[in-house]
Homo-oligomer: A and B are copies of this chain.
Amino acid sequence: MLDKVRMVMVETTHPGNIGAAARAMKTMGLSDLRLVAPKIHPSAEATARASGAGDVLAAARVCETLDEALEGATLVIGTSARQRRIPWPCLTPRQLTAQLAREPEDTRIAVLFGREDRGLTNDELHRCNLHVSVPTNPDYGVLNVASAIQLMAYELRLALVGEDADLPEARSRREQMPLPEMFWDEPAASNQAVQQFLDHLQRVMEDSGFLDPEQPGQVMTRMRRLFLRARPDKMEISILRGTLVALEKRLRGPDSR
């Protein structure tokens, strides 16, 4: 499905943003980038920012007009931070996700991204079937254009491929160890307090002779995983630390009492 989506950047000024957009697209599995009258293209800066997505950048099609960039598209989505005088059907990316789930197979999607300084013109927005606006800080909603492409590409990937396409094997085992939702009586220990306990535990395990500092294996990793997953509360850490202190005294023998 991702090959049915193209990203269209309109009159981009900074070539670095074109490269960053190519990279953002590739990380989400998109490859059809069209550039309407970019100010500078190609450029070394775009290539640098594209990093491992040089193939997407090299394949980007430069178009003279928006019409050329929209060739064959049946669902055109405009991205916009601003409210227009006449409201247009305007969705959040997640609402768009729900919409795309019921699109027919042959829908060809184009998502338009405007200029760095002033976005899409009204004429351009009036070519769109739907407008999408990313929820942002009302005091500063000025998304960088490559960031907007990253967010939209991410949402499109989730909508069209799903979350699970590339899950590492290990995740399939995740559901076997859920922690229940529950009320709790003590405040959570800070990460630092858990860290100090784990350091202490390691010393005691070494002193005990159980843990060989020369051949520690994955023992402490497994202990970390256990205690960090459990997210101990302050009282629990206090009890564990007290126990370790008592054990240390005994390990050092009667002299240390």
Residues of A within 8 A of B (CB): 20, 23-24, 26-29, 51-53, 67, 70-76, 83, 85-90, 92, 94-95, 102, 104, 106-108, 110, 122, 126-129, 133-144, 146-147, 150-151, 154, 157-158, 161-171, 173-174, 177, 181, 184, 187-192, 195, 218, 221-222, 224-225, 228-229, 231
Partner of A129, one of B88, B169, B191: B191
A144 B174 Cβ-Cβ under 8 A: no
Please measure, in the bound complex, the distance between the C-alpha atom of A174 and the C-alpha atom of B92, giving whole angstroms: 12
Please give 14 more A-B residue pairs, beta carbons under 8 A apart, in addition to A70-B192, A74-B231, A88-B229.
A20-B144, A26-B140, A27-B147, A72-B190, A74-B191, A75-B231, A87-B168, A87-B170, A89-B177, A90-B170, A106-B188, A126-B221, A143-B150, A151-B154
23 A-B pairs (CB sep. < 8 Å)? A20-B147, A24-B144, A26-B140, A27-B137, A27-B141, A67-B195, A74-B231, A75-B231, A83-B168, A83-B170, A87-B168, A89-B177, A90-B170, A90-B171, A95-B163, A107-B188, A128-B228, A129-B231, A134-B154, A135-B162, A137-B157, A137-B166, A147-B147
Residues of B contacting A192 in the complex (Cβ-Cβ under 8 angstroms): 67, 70-73
CB of A145 to closest CB in B, whole Å? 11
Please measure, in the bound complex, the distance between the C-alpha atom of A86 and the C-alpha atom of B164, giving whole angstroms: 20
A188 B137 Cβ-Cβ under 8 A: no
Residues of B contacting A88 in the complex (Cβ-Cβ under 8 angstroms): 225, 229
Residues of B contacting A218 in the complex (Cβ-Cβ under 8 angstroms): 85-86
**Known pairs A90-B168, A128-B228; A163 contacts B191 (CB<8 A):** no
A129 B170 Cβ-Cβ under 8 A: no
Please measure, in the bound complex, the distance between the C-alpha atom of A146 and the C-alpha atom of B23, giving whole angstroms: 12
A188 B127 Cβ-Cβ under 8 A: no
Residues of B contacting A163 in the complex (Cβ-Cβ under 8 angstroms): 92, 94-95, 135
CB of A163 to closest CB in B, whole Å? 5
CB of A36 to closest CB in B, whole Å? 14
* Minimum CB distance partner of A164 in chain B: B135
CB of A205 to closest CB in B, whole Å? 16
Residues of B contacting A133 in the complex (Cβ-Cβ under 8 angstroms): 168
Partner of A53, one of B128, B140, B167, B191: B140
